[in-house]
Structure 1
Amino acid sequence: MTRDISPALSRRSVLKSLGAVGAAACTGTFVSIEKAFAQDLQTVTLQLGWLASNGILGEVAADEQGFFAEEGLALDIVPGGPNIDGVASVASGRANIGSISSSPSLMLARSAGLPVKCIAAGYQRHPFTYFSLEKNPVREPKDLVGKRVATNGTARILLEALLAKNGISEDDVEVLVMGSDMAPLMTGQADVVTGWRTNTSALEILGDQRVDMSLWDAGIQLYANPYYVTDQTLSESPELVQGMLRAIAKGWGWVHENPEAAVDILVSRYPNLDRENELKTVGMVLDYSFNDATAERGWGTMTKENWQAQIDAYDSLGQFENAAPAVDDVMTLSVLEETADARPNYG
């Protein structure tokens, strides 16, 4: 059962938007890189999936520390937003590289005909989390039975995947459509609300009685902040792609070593962000960016097996407009392999 407890969603559904832009973006035209006249550097555009946040700490640090310049590049970060389709921007060639919130968006894009491919995973574990309170806690999937779960429209599929993974009928959970507000949990309208665990400012309202159940721990193991380029960029400009990823990887390594200084760089470039809040969050961001896998294989690592599991899960729920995409069309390890020596091995 589903009820809407929020105003109309301002952000377009990922599923609908990806399908709508599929035909237009299939051309995969590559826009030539312009010269940055003052420094004689090639300007590359990074298209974000949403607004600028602590998810780009590594990028702004890399730019500030000269890691892009070392590659002969100048970085231009373009934020996304409710009326911007970042995947289509990259697929059409308006941007050279993209970063988007969640890995399934790239699977859905590929199925819809957009020629984009993931080259690295920024967050090793997705921060998406189900939040409840100690007086009525949800600590594991079986605790969702009989609960009212408030989630935004585009995240409904994540709940469906979680329930299916754990053998729970959708009829056993009442779904409420909400925006990004956590208030329904505090007012008693919902037993569970959802969001990113790194959104610490929004979560403050829940206080010390908050109980977390992460999507990852519940069995749906997605990547967050994956980086992607077009097939054409990958085949025609491999050195450019490697240079961009080397610079970004070095930036995230620098953040790992200098978290407070990295926050200062981020806030200086985006004054709308709160320094104290970002200082509270940076450790968590680094925990999602570095783990045992990155200690072994370097920042940005990912596995074909994980991607295939994601494709299978979404296919079983009928989420692909056309046939399920082949895993080799969705992702490649080639850029990670070529940049292995430059990517930091922190855990």
Structure 2
Amino acid sequence: MPRVVQKSPGQKRAEAAVEGFRRDLGPFVVAAETTRMPMIFTDAKAPGHPIVFVNDSVIALTGYSREEMLGQRLDFLAARGGDPRGLIQVEGAFADNAEDDREAHYRHKGGGVFRAAMVISPVRDKTGEVVQHFISLVDLSKHEREEERLRFLLDELNHRTQNTLATVQSVVLQTLRGHAEKDVIDTLERRVLALSKAHGLLGRENWEAVPLRDVLEAILRPITSNGDQARNGHQPCRISMEGPDVRLAPKAALTLALALHEMATNATSHGALSTDGDGQVHVAWGMVATPDGERMRLQWREHGGPPVTPPTRKGFGSRLLDSGLAQELRGAVNVDYAAGGLVCTIVMPVSKPQAVARHA
């Protein structure tokens, strides 16, 4: 014996109004019925925006039959407890009677939840009064699944990159062991580690851009590992950083990470941080106007260390700072071996900053 569906008065009124609705809006309703985009019409004059029309695509998307939806309040489709702020925004779009789009979570009859963008447009009669709201839904679930797949692939790529760097490091070290001095091996190992840290930061940011401050802290963390003691007053902090929020493109982040590593290594081996005295390093950056437009100016300044003398030969670090860095960063680099402390100034293009300042 077939089950008798008890219909509410609202459902009965909605079903009775469908034919008149089709007749009044004619070709527009026919188009809405046949399109693949989920489309809904609601009554703008009744409380709760009861549904007066759904096309077949809405039925396929939600799993509910047409009879189950007609006459129901629009929030009947909302996921219970899923997105109250989104529903408030949707209600605001109805109240404004203007074209608007909002995202919210909705429920499928089978119990699942999907996210959709809801585009709401008012339908006016001949007098200009809003009589219905026309709603189209864009299912974002497929986009979310694709985003999840891409995130998984990127995570896997980041993992494999780190493994590859570790393998390269191991192969090089095994090859050099017994054929090179320990200092050379240690230097090479630290350079590969600095590169690996920069890769890790970029992987965390999906290889889009990485904050300059994060690059600085990752490279300088071994030197500032006693920062807690410094802040507690047991030992002065010897590295300070100050500048706005700047994000670096991947290539710039990798190149600058190597340069910062070389400057930090030089500071601890020969410069301001090579003794137990009062030597300090201050890293400051900000935006400046140049003939080529606005650029970031970063300055690494050492003071309080032993007297500085220019190097008699150029090693990897000097060559990187003097020539390779400017070319890679599409900027200008100046290294001043001042007696009072080395000063390295880098001017390069970056993203627009937001002003903040903090000490390491």
Of structures 1 and 2, the larger Rg is shown by 2
- Tell me whether the two structures share a fold, i.e. TM-score over 0.5: no
From the two aligned structures, give the one with the greater strand fraction. 2
Q: TM-score, normalised by structure 1?
A: 0.20
